[in-house]
């Protein structure tokens, strides 16, 4: 009997049921002041003081906008739809925050001779290579470079994160002297170099 009970519990966790609902998505999401949300033809649009964001949502999740709240409901109880339910709720919350308060990431450029500067819509980097590295800045992002601190800000959480990760990947921080590009709050595990005898 005990064995069958455990197998039933595993089955519920695997395929999802009403007790295995997304804790993120089951509550209505409040719409902040001075913010509008529209949903039509699978596209959700969020307008706020800082701009407008649009995202395509699949029909497996029903979206209702009323009483200054957004409610997301899964069409069927399956593992993939329940996962999508929580993901879409997180996306929508990020959009609501972004049009009111911009997302921001800071990157620190460390190393002798390493430099960063903005030339028009291009981030110009000197990273110890034989040539400078130029990165085009997306039109919806604001990027500044002062005293080897690169600040990336924008209303779209994903765009800010992707651009920051792209810049960091150009010269990841190495573990001996810490040279490279790292996030402001990133802790680089340092290694001890070889000792001369």
Residue 161 lies in a domain: yes
Q: Two tokens at 119? A: 């030339």
Residue 4 lies in a domain: no
- State residue 161's pLDDT score: 96
Mean confidence (pLDDT) of the chain: 85
18-32, 89-103, 110-124: the lowest-pLDDT one: 18-32
Domain count, the chain: 2
In this model, does residue 27 exceed pLDDT 90?
A: no
Looking at the fold, whether 82 and 121 belong to one and the same domain comes out as no
State the residue range of the domain holding 90: 9-98
Beta bridge partners of 47: 36, 52
Residue 135 lies in a domain: yes
The average pLDDT across 113-126 equals 94
Looking at the fold, whether 114 and 60 belong to one and the same domain comes out as no
CATH number at residue 88: 3.90.930.12
- State residue 192's pLDDT score: 67
Looking at the fold, whether 17 and 88 belong to one and the same domain comes out as yes
Q: Name the helix (H) or strand (E) containing 163.
A: helix 157-169
pLDDT digits (tens, 9 = 90+) for 166-175: 999 999 988 8
Strands (E), 96-161: 103-110, 115-119, 122-126, 133-136, 142-146, 149-154
Looking at the fold, whether 165 and 118 belong to one and the same domain comes out as yes
Please name which of 68, 62, 70, 59 lies closest in space to residue 94, comparing C-alpha atoms: 70
Q: Name the helix (H) or strand (E) containing 84.
A: helix 79-98
pLDDT digits (tens, 9 = 90+) for 53-109: 999 998 988 999 998 999 999 888 888 888 888 899 999 999 999 999 999 999 999
Looking at the fold, whether 88 and 27 belong to one and the same domain comes out as yes
- State residue 84's pLDDT score: 87
From 71, 98, 125, give the residue that closes a domain. 98
């Amino acid at each position: 009997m005990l064995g069958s009970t455990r197998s039933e519990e595993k089955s519920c966790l695997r395929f999802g049921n009403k007790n295995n609902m997304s804790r993120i998505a089951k509550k209505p999401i409040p719409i902040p002041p001075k913010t509008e949300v529209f949903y039509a033809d699978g596209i959700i649009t969020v307008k706020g003081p800082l701009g407008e964001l649009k995202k395509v949502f699949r029909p497996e999740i029903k979206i209702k906008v009323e009483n200054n709240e957004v409610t997301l409901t899964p069409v069927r109880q399956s593992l993939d739809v329940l996962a999508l339910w929580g993901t879409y709720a997180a996306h929508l919350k990020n959009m609501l925050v972004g049009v009111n308060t911009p997302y921001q990431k800071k990157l620190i450029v460390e190393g002798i001779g390493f430099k960063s500067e903005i030339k028009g819509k291009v981030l110009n980097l000197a990273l110890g290579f034989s040539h400078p590295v130029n990165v085009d800045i997306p039109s919806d992002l604001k990027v500044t470079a002062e005293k080897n601190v690169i600040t990336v800000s924008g209303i779209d959480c994903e765009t800010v994160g992707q651009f920051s990760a792209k810049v960091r990947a150009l010269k990841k921080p190495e573990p001996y002297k810490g040279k490279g590009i790292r996030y402001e709050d990133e802790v680089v595990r340092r290694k001890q170099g070889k000792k001369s005898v």
